[in-house]
Amino acid sequence: MKAMHYTLDQLNTMPADTFVTVLAGIFEHSPWVPERAAQQRPFKDIDALHRAMSQIVEEAGEDRQLALINAHPELAGKAAVRGELTAESTREQSGAGLNLCTQEEFDRLQSLNAQYREKFGFPFILAVRGYDRHGIIANFEARVNHDRAEELRTSLDQIYRIAGFRLNDLIQAA
């Protein structure tokens, strides 16, 4: 199924509930972000929309931020194995070659997912576009040694990168 594309003008003028529906996949399972962004329209460009949505998350408080982080699937995790990823996450993980992992790589990712979640209490988040599975594993191995505050910040920054990619995929130049 081909993804729909919208112009910024369409997003700026559509009813708020349609705006929320169209942008629901930008921040994983978190429609509260586009709900708040709808109130700030019109946006002059994609970057302004992206900044507004990111700022909404920044101002949401740590509990809401953790809920957003926890809404993201583990990389090559149980949801991927069961085919339960969102269309966006499926495309992103497949594009990075995570569906092509050897058994050894898959086992390593499973181990890293468990270590990371045990240490930080939330899943490892990485905007995988531009990475191959080897780069993802190397990034994972480095970040599991960070402290919680650094990983919370890094996870949010990665979510903003993911959102930027998804917005650019959704919105076409007018």
* Residue 172 φ/ψ, nearest 5 degrees: -100, 155
pLDDT tens per residue, range 112-127: 999 999 999 999 999 9
Candidates 5, 29, 50, 72; catalytic one: 72
Nearest 5 degrees, angle CA 156-CA 19-CA 43? 70
d(CA 90, CA 92): 6
CATH level 3 topology of 74-166: UraD-like (1.10.3330)
62/57 Cα distance (integer angstroms): 9
Integer Cα distance of 142 and 164 in angstroms: 24
- Between the CA atoms of 164, 166, 169 and 170, what dihedral angle is there, to the nearest 10 degrees? -110
72 is catalytic: yes
Q: What pLDDT is recorded for position 99?
A: 75
- Indicate the pTM of the whole model: 0.88
**Contact of 13 with 7, CB cutoff 8 Å:** no
CATH 1.10.3330.10 domain locations along the chain: 74-166
Cβ atoms 41, 12 nearer than 8 A = yes
Categorize the per-residue pLDDT at 1 as very low, low, confident or very high, splitting at 50, 70 and 90: very low
